[in-house]
């Protein structure tokens, strides 16, 4: 068997805490910028949220001539019709705003578009969404995100200490806000699928943070006397190899989605790519340094942490104050 490639042979000694103020400043900038972008420029809501009509068409004879199609669709009296290439040269995405009136009016607009474009076109997808549904979806989406953030924070709080919960929630909030900022900046269509991406980013980011927090907690127990900044640095450096490898495998999966998953998943993949980068960054430069400011006590004699059902519980540690405790072992409860 050949030797595996080891990227980090010796545990590095990067001074993450020394960089944390730059990180905080950068993140503050990104967060504020995202909020400003969101307020000023807003999001490019897809019809899931705004209501309206979307038609995906493919020309059957040669590539689509967008200019000619645009000319045909102008002045039909159905509002601002927008046309956009969609993947291959044959594919066009036609957007028609929500028509005033009922369901029949929407249907008529679809017919009008099809009649104006004439023959030689294959209609691959037609979606008509009413405005009430759109508003509900926005509401549901926002609620799902808030609930997810909250539930995750509570879980981390139970498993660790409240300080960790606060740090995890803040860094995840940061990731979520900046992802929305990216959507606003690039004007990528914001639809239900991208909403799923944002929730997954929250999940991924917290996942990454939890791994690091886990190590911080362990180091706190092992090295009672270690200065807190050093303690965080040590934890981050020790987990750095894992951080890099996991980011890589996840990024590989998302990159293949981006390149091969088709047009519909493009927005989702972009969001996820950004989420992986920002999620990792925030674990290193936001979530971990935040602990320095909230200072969890990490007391060994704290009541046993609540575990998920079936999870092993950390045994209370027999360490006296100041003494170097033996390595914090988890109970060998793995099934």
Partner 1 sequence: MLYFQTWKVILILAACALGVIFSAPNLFSADRLASWPDFIPKRQVSLGLDLRGGSHLLLEVDMASVERERLNGLVDEIRGALLDAKTGYTGLAVEGDHVSFSLRDAGDLNALHDAILKLDPDLQVNLTSGGVSTAKFLDAAVLARRRSAVDQSIEIVRRRIDETGTKEPTIQREGDDRILVQLPGVENPEHVKELLGRTAKMTFQLVDTDASAEDARAGRLPPGDELLPTADNRPGTPQFYVVKRRVMVSGDTLTDAQPTFQNGNEPVVSFTFDSVGARRFADATTSNVGKPFAIVLDNKVISAPVIREAILGGRGVISGNFTVQSANDLALLLRAGALPAPLVVLEERTVGPDLGADSIRAGTTACLVGVALVVVFMIVFYGLFGIFADIALFFNLCLMLASLSFLGATLTLPGIAGIALTMGMAVDANVLIYERIREELRGGRSMISSLQAGFERAFGTILDSHVTTLVAGILMFFLGSGPVKGFAVTLSIGVLTSLFSAILVTRLQIVTWLRRSKPKEIPI
Find where tokens 């008509």 sit. 128
Torsions phi, psi for 251 (to 5 deg): -65, -35
Collapsing DSSP to helix, strand or coil, 326 comes out as coil
**What is the nearest approach in angstroms of partner 1 to the Cβ of residue 42?**
21
Q: Given the complex with partner 1, which of 182 and 206 has the nearer CB atom? A: 206
CA distance 303 to 215: 19
Q: Is the dihedral of CA 197, 203, 205, 211 positive or negative?
A: negative
Q: Given the complex with partner 1, which of 8 and 25 has the nearer CB atom? A: 8
Find where tokens 């539930």 sit. 151
Q: Report the candidate in 39, 288, 38 with the shortest Cα–Cα distance to residue 167.
A: 288
Q: Given the complex with partner 1, which of 32 and 105 has the nearer CB atom? A: 105
**What is the nearest approach in angstroms of partner 1 to the Cβ of residue 235?**
12
Q: Given the complex with partner 1, which of 4 and 77 has the nearer CB atom? A: 4
Element (H, E) at 57: strand 52-59
| Torsion angle of the four alpha carbons 298, 303, 305, 311, in this order, in degrees rounded to the nearest 10 | 140
Give the C-alpha distances (Å, rounded to integers) separating 332 from 41, 194, 312, 327.
Answer: 53, 40, 8, 14
**What is the nearest approach in angstroms of partner 1 to the Cβ of residue 45?**
15
Q: What is the DSSP letter of 323?
A: S
**What is the nearest approach in angstroms of partner 1 to the Cβ of residue 271?**
11
Torsions phi, psi for 44 (to 5 deg): -85, 85
Q: Given the complex with partner 1, which of 74 and 136 has the nearer CB atom? A: 136
Q: Given the complex with partner 1, which of 38 and 158 has the nearer CB atom? A: 158
Residue spans of alpha helices (H) in the chain? 16-40, 47-50, 66-73, 103-117, 131-159, 162-186, 192-222, 228-260, 266-282, 288-294
Collapsing DSSP to helix, strand or coil, 54 comes out as strand
CA distance 179 to 189: 13
Q: Given the complex with partner 1, which of 39 and 249 has the nearer CB atom? A: 249
Q: What pairing do the DSSP bridges indicate for beta strands 88-96 and 82-86?
A: antiparallel
Q: Given the complex with partner 1, which of 66 and 192 has the nearer CB atom? A: 192
**What is the nearest approach in angstroms of partner 1 to the Cβ of residue 214?**
4
């Amino acid at each position: 068997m050949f030797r595996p490639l080891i990227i980090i042979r010796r545990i590095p000694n990067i001074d993450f805490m020394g960089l944390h103020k730059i990180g905080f400043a950068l993140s503050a900038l990104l967060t504020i910028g995202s909020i400003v972008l969101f307020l000023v420029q807003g999001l490019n809501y897809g019809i899931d949220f705004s209501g309206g009509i979307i038609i995906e068409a493919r020309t059957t004879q040669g590539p689509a001539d967008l200019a000619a199609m645009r000319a045909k669709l102008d002045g039909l009296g159905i509002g601002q019709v927008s046309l956009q290439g969609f993947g291959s040269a044959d594919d066009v995405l036609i957007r028609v705003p929500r028509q005033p009136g009922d369901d029949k009016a929407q249907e008529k607009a679809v017919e009008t578009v099809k009649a104006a474009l004439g023959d030689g076109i294959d209609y691959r997808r037609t979606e008509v969404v009413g405005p009430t549904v759109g508003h509900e979806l926005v509401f549901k989406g926002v609620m799902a995100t808030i609930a997810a953030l909250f539930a995750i924070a509570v879980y981390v709080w139970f498993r660790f200490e409240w300080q960790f919960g606060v740090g995890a929630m803040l860094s995840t909030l940061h990731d979520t806000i900046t992802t929305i900022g990216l959507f606003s900046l690039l004007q990528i269509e914001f639809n239900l699928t991208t909403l799923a991406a944002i929730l997954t980013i929250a999940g991924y980011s917290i996942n990454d943070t939890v791994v690091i927090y886990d190590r911080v907690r362990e180091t706190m127990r092992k090295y009672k006397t270690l200065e807190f900044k050093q303690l965080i640095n040590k934890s981050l450096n020790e987990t750095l190899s894992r951080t890099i490898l996991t980011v890589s495998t996840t990024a590989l999966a998302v990159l293949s989605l981006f390149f091969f998953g088709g047009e519909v998943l493009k927005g989702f993949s972009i969001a996820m790519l950004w989420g992986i980068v920002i999620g990792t960054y925030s674990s290193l430069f936001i979530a971990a340094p935040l602990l320095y400011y909230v200072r969890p006590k990490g007391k060994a004699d704290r009541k046993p942490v609540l575990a998920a059902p079936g999870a092993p519980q950390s045994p209370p540690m027999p360490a006296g104050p100041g003494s170097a405790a033996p390595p914090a072992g988890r109970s060998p409860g793995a099934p």
